[in-house]
Each structure stands twice: as structure tokens, then as C-alpha cells.
């Protein structure tokens, strides 16, 4: 039995400890916003926050998140209450197919938590693990830089306390 915190709620699962967090969140806890893209930590579609840090959960066994704090896209904001990054994503019509965008937004949120005023090169470096096959990179970067420097309604400290 492994216990951890998922979007602020204590959860437990008897899934095999080697099961990647992505599949536990999707199949056991039925949160479908985080996506499978490669299964090898190469594309970032599965990105969630573990203790506030962007992590590739298709490669993270749940044994590694025991007692830790996991946040998914569902924990970041909702359609009725958008996180500033999500609002910028909507405003700039960033998504095309949209499949990678949960992972993109989680990587961006992690970056802004650590570095609220990133340079263009900082954004490139932080987002280089997230592939967008539709090629929405110009807009993703614009959205991140738009939000950068604004006060965020959400931050890593709050996430860990939750």
C-alpha cells in the first residue's frame, strides 16, 4: 500500500509499487488530464509536479512518491478558475490538438515557481523536455513570458502545504 497526496487529498493505492505514477493517476484515480506520450521520459506529456517540481511520471514508480505531494493539471486550475498560465494559454489560443498541453503547462508552472522572471533562453531550457508535435512553440513561449513577472495565484509552497 502506497500513500501520497494527490491535488491536496490523501490517497492510497495497492497498485504494484513499480507502476509508473502516470498510470496510477489515470487508471486508478481516474484523472485523465495527464497524458501518455512516449513511456520513456522523452516528450513531457505526462508531466506532473512532485513536491512542486516538474517530473516525468511515465518513468516515476509510485514507490518513489510515497508520502510526497503530487499535483496534476486538474490541481492547477479548472475551467471555471483558470491558473494564470491557463488563462494565457486560452487568450493566445495556444493549443492545437491539445494533447501535450497539460504537460507543457505543468512544466511552465514549475519554471515560474522557481524563476518568476525567466529570460527567453530560460524558457527554452525549461521547456525543452516537452514536445509539441503540432508545433505550438511560438505561442507556448509567448504565453509563459506573458505570465512571467505577474503575481501567481498558485505557488510551490502552497502546493506542498496543501
Partner 1 sequence: MKAINMSRRKFLKTSSVVGGGLVVGFAMTGCSTVKLPIEMSDYGFVPNAFLQITPDNTVRFYCPRDEMGQGVTTGLGTLIGEELDVHPQDMEISFAGVHRDYKNPDFGVQGTGGSSSLKAHYLPLRQVGANTRALLVEAAARDLGVSVGDIATESGHVVVAGKRFPYGQFVGTAALLTAPEQAPLKLNADFRYIGTEFSRVDAIAKSTGTAEFGIDIDIPGMHHAVVIRSPIAGAKLSSVDKSGAQNMPGVTDVIEISSGVAVVAEKYWQAKTAAEKLDPKWDDVALAKVDTSTVRQDYAEAMKNEEGVSDTDEGNVVAGLESADHVIESEYWAPYLAHAPMETMNAIVRIENGEADVWSGTQGIVAAQGLVARFSGIPVEKVRAHSTYLGGAFGRRGTLTHVIEATEVAVASNKPIHLLWSREDDIRNGVYRPASLMKIKAGVKNDGSITAWQAKRVGGNITPKTLENMMPALFPGLGDGTIDFMVGLSRDVFASWVVDHSSVEGLYEDYDTANKTVDHVTVDHNLPLTFWRSVGHSYTSLAKEGMVDELAEKVGMDPVQFRVNNTQNNPRLNNVIKVGQQQMKKMQPAEGRYLGFASHHSFSTDVAEIAEVSVEGNEIRVHKVTCIVDCGIAVNPDVVRGQMEGAVMFGLTAALYGDLDLEQGAIKQSNFHDYPILRMGEAPEVDVIIIDSGTEPTGVGEPGLPPIAPAVASAVYKATGQRLRSLPFKLA
Residues that bind partner 1 (CB under 8 A): 15-16, 19-20, 23, 26-28, 30-40, 42-43, 45, 72-74, 77-80, 82, 84, 86-102, 105, 123-125, 127-128, 130-141, 146-147, 150
Q: CA triplet 18, 23, 27: central angle to 5 degrees?
A: 125
How many CB atoms within 10 Å of residue 73? Answer: 25
Q: Exposed, middle or buried: residue 128 (CB in 10 Å: 0-12, 13-18, 19+)?
A: exposed
Q: Which is nearer to partner 1, 38 or 160 (CB)?
A: 38
CA 155 to chain CA centroid, nearest Å: 13
| Alpha-carbon distances of 138 from 79, 118, 135, 143, rounded to whole Å | 23, 16, 8, 9
Q: Which is nearer to partner 1, 36 or 154 (CB)?
A: 36
CB of 35 to partner 1, least distance (A): 7
CB of 59 to partner 1, least distance (A): 12
CB of 122 to partner 1, least distance (A): 11
CB of 13 to partner 1, least distance (A): 11
Q: Which is nearer to partner 1, 66 or 128 (CB)?
A: 128
114: nearest Cα among 73, 152, 82: 152
Q: Which is nearer to partner 1, 125 or 162 (CB)?
A: 125
Amino acid at each position: 500500500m502506497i500513500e501520497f497526496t494527490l491535488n491536496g487529498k490523501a490517497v492510497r493505492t495497492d497498485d504494484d509499487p513499480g507502476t509508473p505514477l502516470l498510470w496510477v493517476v489515470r487508471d486508478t484515480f481516474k484523472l485523465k488530464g495527464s497524458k501518455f506520450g512516449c513511456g520513456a521520459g522523452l516528450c513531457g506529456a505526462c508531466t506532473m509536479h512532485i513536491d512542486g517540481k516538474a517530473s516525468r511520471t511515465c518513468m516515476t514508480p509510485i514507490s518513489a512518491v510515497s508520502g510526497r505531494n503530487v499535483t496534476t493539471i486538474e490541481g492547477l486550475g479548472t475551467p471555471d478558475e483558470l491558473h494564470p498560465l491557463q488563462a494565457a494559454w486560452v487568450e493566445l489560443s495556444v493549443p492545437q490538438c491539445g494533447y501535450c498541453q497539460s504537460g507543457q503547462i505543468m512544466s511552465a508552472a514549475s519554471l515560474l515557481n522557481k524563476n518568476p522572471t525567466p529570460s527567453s533562453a530560460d524558457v527554452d531550457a525549461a521547456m525543452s523536455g516537452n514536445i509539441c508535435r503540432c508545433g505550438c512553440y511560438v505561442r507556448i513561449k509567448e504565453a509563459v513570458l506573458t505570465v512571467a513577472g505577474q503575481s501567481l495565484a498558485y505557488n510551490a509552497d502552497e502546493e506542498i502545504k496543501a
